[in-house]
Amino acid sequence: MTTNAEVRKEAGLFSAIAQSLSDGPEFEFVKDTIKNAILFLLIAALAIALNYLVNLLKSTGISKFILWGLEGLEYLIFVADVVWFVSFLIVSTILLVRNVWSKVTHNQSLHRIADKSGSR
């Protein structure tokens, strides 16, 4: 049988773990990536809708020049969307690795300092 003190201790442990995860740069990376992936999909959906409209207009006999302009816009929106999302992923990954690496090297430096002062 579990006592109230054990339950509070476990809840405190889970709370501490959740707080630790949410404060880290990894969580920020995940949160930003999800947000930007949703934006990427929304912009891609606009390009897909424009493609659907162009295909619909082709059957109406509308000017080829207008269709060409709309198709160009469709491709431009999609390419810009892909370039933006890929560049976001590259830059975010570099910043995450740099941030994590600096934490690791900082912690190692602190351990060396603590070891040197403890050995005196």
Is residue 91 domain-resident? Answer: yes
Tell me: pLDDT of 6 over 60. yes
pTM for this prediction: 0.67
Decide: residue 84, CB within 10 A, 0-12 exposed, 13-18 middle, 19+ buried. middle
Residue 119 three-state SS: coil
Q: CB of 50 within 8 A of CB of 77?
A: yes
* The pLDDT of residue 80 is above 90: yes
Average pLDDT over residues 8-32: 72
Residue 112 is part of which domain span?
Answer: 24-118
Does residue 16 sit within a domain? no
Q: Is residue 9 part of a domain?
A: no
Q: Is 11 domain-assigned?
A: no
Whether residue 82 lies inside any domain: the answer is yes
> What domain count does the chain have?
1
Asked if the structure places residue 110 within a domain, the reply is yes
Q: Is the pLDDT of residue 43 over 60?
A: yes
**Contact indicator for 21, 27 with CB cutoff of 8 Å:** yes
Whether 71 maps to a domain, the answer reads yes
Instruction: Taking residues 61-65, report their average pLDDT.
Output: 91
Residue 50 burial (CB count, 10 A): 17
**Residue with the larger pLDDT of the pair 57 and 114:** 57
Question: Is 57 within the bounds of a domain?
Answer: yes
